[in-house]
């Protein structure tokens, strides 16, 4: 996990889609909620690295949440710069025995058609379950990616990107191979739990005999409208404010860091990105035994408002050289926020877009909870890897988290009108 950056405006995807899609639901209708009051949209945050754009800005009645829609077609796939949604599902599939390139292409065609319909607030083409019949699209997004093993399974080894080489081992990893990697990866996000589940179920049914689920994880963030404080940065399950330093899509180096250039290699990855996906369990019982001051020392920020320990507000630049009356650094050398800063890692940066998770309690009452870490970068060897290597060498937060699963996926650029995701790879 890493200190993250928080933009002020909605993403380009969300902004362009919101006005054009409202009122166009072909089968569903958005139900009003009697007596609902208008509350400002808050930022849904995570815990580390760069995180995606917030929904902060304007006062929006809760009844409008279902009307939000994101375009399926575009330069980039949805779900990367789209504002964080309240609910999320991450799922990996393996191609079935005997399935190859032809079956994979047909599957991506089906998945793309279903995603386009559901994101527009329409029913699935075949055998819709009606789970989301009464809801609008609720800012639903569906994002597709390819794992390292996909290319051997389909005979496309020569098209496999060098950037998709397996991640190095880290000393803090405690990875469950059964919940790691996969041939195909799908990210589903929405601001309504039923809408998100409906999409997940439709995509799983679309897989048919071509692919089977390898692993699946469920997550959540703050629901837009849950706070009346405009632009408030969210807290993670450790109670820390997260999302302080998100990059803005308007920044000059944003695309260079996050997306593969149009002239990049391989050509089918133009305008795409690479997603590192990790299930990071938070050892909350151990964390909560620390005093508030000790927790602040681990992070390097005040728990109350997210400001650096050297003072100011949440967005104030920390003074990394300041010492206290005892002669010690105010922000310790192993503080999480110090270690993860881009200027402490040769400029390495990534767009973080995580979900929190809670999967119950074990027999001793210990919560199985933490962060579904998803970060985006043009090259993971220049984004995730150098930061994680430094964290691995001495991050104070490492004593309170456990990396339990991992995956790296090549996420191609968005599909143009009339195309399906991955078509330039699968029909090259």
Residue among 51, 80, 48, 84 at smallest CA distance from 68: 84
The three-state secondary structure class of 389 is helix
Q: Are 96 and 214 in contact (CB under 8 A)?
A: no
Instruction: Give the dihedral of Cα atoms 126, 127, 130, 136; nearest 10 deg.
Output: -10
Q: Is the dihedral of CA 83, 371, 167, 257 positive or negative?
A: positive
Measuring CA to CA, which residue among 332, 349, 339 is closest to residue 390? Answer: 339
| Structure tokens belonging to residue 133 | 């019949």
> Do β-strands 351-352 and 50-51 pair in parallel, antiparallel, or remain unpaired?
parallel
Residue 217 is encoded by which pair of tokens? Answer: 């994880």
Catalytic residue list contains 242:
yes
Q: Strand, coil or helix: what is 356?
A: strand
C-alpha to C-alpha distance for 204 and 214, rounded to whole angstroms: 11
Contact 206/70 with Cβ under 8 angstroms?
A: no
For 386, the enclosing helix (H) or strand (E) is helix 384-392
Q: What is the enclosing helix (H) or strand (E) of 204? A: helix 193-207
Cα separation, 235 vs 247, whole angstroms: 18
CA separation for the pair 349, 402 (Å, rounded): 22
Residues 6 or more apart whose CB falls under 8 angstroms from that of 123 comprise 26, 27, 28, 117, 130, 133
Six-digit token pair at 274?
Answer: 């690479």
- CA dist., res. 251 & res. 274, Å (int): 20
- Count of residues in the chain: 428
Q: Which of 242, 255, 334, 395 is catalytic?
A: 242
- Of the candidates 30, 4, 117, the one whose C-alpha atom is nearest the C-alpha of residue 353 is 4
- Contact between 242 and 235 under an 8 Å Cβ cutoff? The reply is yes
C-alpha span between 217 and 237 (Å, rounded): 17
Residue 210, both tokens:
């071509």
Task: Please list the active-site residues.
Answer: 242
């Amino acid at each position: 996990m890493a200190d993250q950056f928080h933009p002020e405006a909605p993403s380009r995807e969300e902004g362009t889609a919101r006005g054009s899609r409202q009122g166009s639901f072909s089968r569903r209708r958005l139900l009003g909620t009697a007596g609902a009051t208008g509350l400002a949209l808050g930022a849904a945050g995570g815990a580390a690295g760069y995180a995606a754009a917030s929904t902060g800005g304007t006062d929006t009645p809760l009844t409008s949440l279902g009307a939000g829609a994101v375009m399926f077609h575009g330069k980039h796939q949805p779900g990367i710069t789209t504002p964080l949604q309240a609910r999320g599902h991450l799922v990996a599939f393996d191609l079935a025995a005997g399935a190859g390139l032809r079956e994979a292409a047909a599957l991506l065609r089906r998945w793309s058609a279903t995603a386009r319909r559901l994101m527009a607030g329409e029913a699935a083409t075949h055998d819709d379950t009606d789970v989301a019949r009464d809801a609008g699209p609720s800012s639903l997004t569906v994002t597709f990616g390819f794992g390292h093993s996909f290319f051997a399974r389909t005979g496309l080894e020569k098209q496999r990107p060098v950037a998709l080489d397996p991640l190095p081992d880290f000393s803090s990893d405690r990875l469950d191979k059964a919940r790691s990697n996969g041939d195909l990866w799908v990210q589903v996000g929405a601001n309504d739990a039923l809408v998100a589940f409906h999409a997940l179920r439709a995509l799983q049914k679309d897989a048919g005999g071509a692919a089977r689920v390898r692993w699946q994880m469920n997550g959540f963030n703050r629901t837009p409208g849950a706070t009346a404080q405009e632009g408030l940065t969210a807290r993670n399950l450790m109670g820390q404010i997260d999302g302080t330093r998100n990059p803005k899509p308007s920044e000059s180096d944003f695309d260079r860091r996050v997306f593969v250039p149009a002239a990049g290699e391989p050509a089918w990855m133009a305008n795409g990105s690479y997603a590192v996906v990790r299930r990071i369990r938070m050892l909350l019982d151990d964390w909560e035994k620390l005093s508030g001051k000790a927790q602040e020392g681990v992070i390097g920020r005040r728990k109350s408002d997210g400001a650096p320990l050297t003072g100011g507000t949440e967005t104030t630049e920390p003074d990394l050289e300041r010492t206290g009356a005892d002669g010690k650094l105010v922000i310790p050398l192993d503080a999480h926020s110090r270690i993860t800063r881009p200027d402490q890692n040769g400029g390495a940066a990534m767009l973080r877009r995580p979900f929190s998770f809670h999967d119950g309690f074990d027999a001793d009452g210990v919560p199985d909870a933490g962060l579904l870490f998803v970060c985006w970068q043009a090259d993971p060897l220049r984004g995730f890897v150098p930061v994680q290597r430094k964290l691995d060498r001495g991050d104070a937060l490492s004593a309170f988290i456990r990396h339990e699963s991992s995956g790296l996926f090549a996420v191609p650029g968005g599909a143009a009108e009339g195309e399906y995701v991955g078509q330039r790879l699968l029909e090259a």
